[in-house]
């Protein structure tokens, strides 16, 4: 199935369109920010390529990419999957590439499962591992984002931080409730989804065969996720703890990058405030319908950070942040994907 999506002509067209949408939306966001703050095209600052700056940026990037690979590796090992870290590291960049050219990062999940299947990991185990890896990051972000907004009232977006806190709190409550139901009572979640499918069929929006197929898939995936998460929690505790620690290191490196860039540009950033701001930006990106959250992430960051970055430097910080954490990984991911996802190339 994945082969058709990644190598077939319709799949190639979708990915090309996704990549084009990512580039256009990112460019439009930068143009809008430049027009709003009056910065114009950001001027290159040589302080960012000073030897000490390059060393610090490289160190943080190494932590960022390595922790990203380790968090999936430890989850897979906790589930007794026969993988090595050398097999997982290319997947970091494959996921970065596909998740940023597909809406809601859906392509990243398919690419990861297909890649892991070719490494000898079953589809069910791959789906459980990638879902658990995502859930761990979401739990951290979904807790830290509202805490930051509550504990940092001086951070305001268009004078509506209170409304933003209430909205985020409501979304978190729904997500947490759904997660707990799926984990502890998967049959309840399946029953609710089946009721929804039945309603769609009665409204003649869904055929009987499609409804039956989706119902079967829902039951299978809910059971697989519940069993997989149970195995993760009951497995070797050191592996589960290592997965959580790697997740924290990954997110901390991601959120700290703008603060490092600001410091290198001679500003005096409040590191905790910047890290908290990025947790909110990342939270909002989970709901952005555009490929890779393009447009939304840049605008959200600009709205939250405009008062903390000096005039004339906001656009440069945003571009450098996206370049290092997204564009660079996507470029590497495009090359790696062409090499490791070729038909017939199986990694064992």
Asked if pLDDT for residue 200 goes beyond 50, the answer is: yes
DSSP-derived secondary structure letter, 309: S
Which residues on adjacent β-strands are paired with residue 291? Answer: 103
Backbone angles phi, psi at 308, to 5 degrees: -110, -15
First-to-last C-alpha distance (Å) of the chain: 20
Q: For residue range 296-312, what is the model confidence (pLDDT) as tens digits? A: 788 888 887 777 776 67
Q: For residue range 65-97, what is the model confidence (pLDDT) as tens digits? A: 999 999 999 999 998 888 999 999 999 999 999
Asked if pLDDT for residue 154 goes beyond 70, the answer is: no
Scanning the chain, the segments in alpha helix (DSSP H) are 2-7, 9-37, 51-78, 85-99, 106-118, 123-151, 161-184, 186-202, 208-234, 237-264, 271-285, 296-305, 314-322, 328-340
Specify the pLDDT at position 246.
96
| Window from 119-123, 135-139, 179-183, 214-218 with minimum mean pLDDT | 179-183
Task: Calculate mean pLDDT across residues 209-215.
Answer: 87
Q: For residue range 241-294, what is the model confidence (pLDDT) as tens digits? A: 999 999 999 999 999 999 999 999 988 888 888 888 888 788 777 777 777 777
List, in order, residues 6 or more apart from 49 with CB less than 8 Å away: none
Specify the pLDDT at position 347.
52
d(CA 338, CA 84): 21
CB-CB neighbours of 262 under 10 Å: 25
Percent of residues, the chain, with pLDDT higher than 90: 24
Which contacts qualify for 323-327: CB closer than 8 Å, 24 or more apart?
324/57, 324/61, 324/257, 325/64, 325/254, 325/257, 326/96, 326/100, 326/292
Percent of residues, the chain, with pLDDT higher than 70: 83
Asked if pLDDT for residue 327 goes beyond 50, the answer is: yes
d(CA 171, CA 150): 15
Average pLDDT, the chain: 81
Specify the pLDDT at position 3.
43
């Amino acid at each position: 199935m994945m082969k058709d999506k990644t190598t077939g002509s319709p799949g190639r067209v979708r990915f090309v369109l996704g990549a084009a949408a990512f580039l256009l939306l990112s460019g439009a966001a930068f143009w809008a920010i430049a027009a709003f703050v009056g910065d114009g095209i950001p001027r290159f600052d040589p302080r960012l390529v000073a030897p000490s700056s390059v060393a610090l940026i490289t160190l943080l990037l190494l932590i960022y990419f390595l922790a990203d690979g380790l968090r999936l590796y430890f989850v897979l090992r906790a589930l007794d999957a026969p993988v090595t870290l050398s097999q997982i590291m290319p997947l970091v960049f494959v996921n970065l590439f596909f998740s940023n050219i597909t809406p809601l990062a859906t392509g990243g999940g398919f690419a990861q499962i297909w890649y892991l299947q070719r490494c000898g990991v079953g589809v069910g185990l791959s789906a459980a591992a990638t879902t658990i890896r995502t859930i761990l990051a979401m739990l951290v972000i979904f807790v830290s984002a509202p805490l930051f907004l509550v504990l940092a009232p001086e951070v305001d977006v268009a004078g509506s931080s209170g409304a933003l806190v209430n909205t985020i709190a409501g979304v978190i409550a729904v997500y947490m409730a759904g997660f707990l139901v799926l984990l502890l009572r998967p049959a309840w979640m399946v029953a609710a989804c089946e009721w929804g499918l039945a309603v769609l069929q009665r409204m003649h929006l869904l055929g009987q065969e499609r409804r039956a197929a989706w119902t079967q898939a829902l039951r299978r995936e809910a059971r697989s996720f519940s069993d997989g998460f149970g195995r993760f929690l009951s497995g070797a505790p050191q592996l589960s703890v290592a997965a959580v620690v790697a997740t924290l290191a990954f997110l901390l490196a991601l959120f700290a990058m703008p603060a490092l860039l600001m410091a290198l540009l001679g500003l005096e950033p409040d590191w905790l405030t910047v890290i908290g701001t990025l947790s909110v930006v990342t939270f909002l990106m989970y709901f952005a319908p555009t490929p890779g959250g393009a447009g939304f992430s840049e605008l959200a960051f600009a709205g939250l950070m405009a008062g903390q970055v000096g005039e004339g430097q906001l656009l440069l910080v945003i571009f450098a942040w996206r370049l290092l954490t997204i564009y660079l990984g996507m470029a590497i991911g495009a090359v790696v994907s062409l090499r490791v996802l070729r038909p017939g190339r199986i990694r064992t």
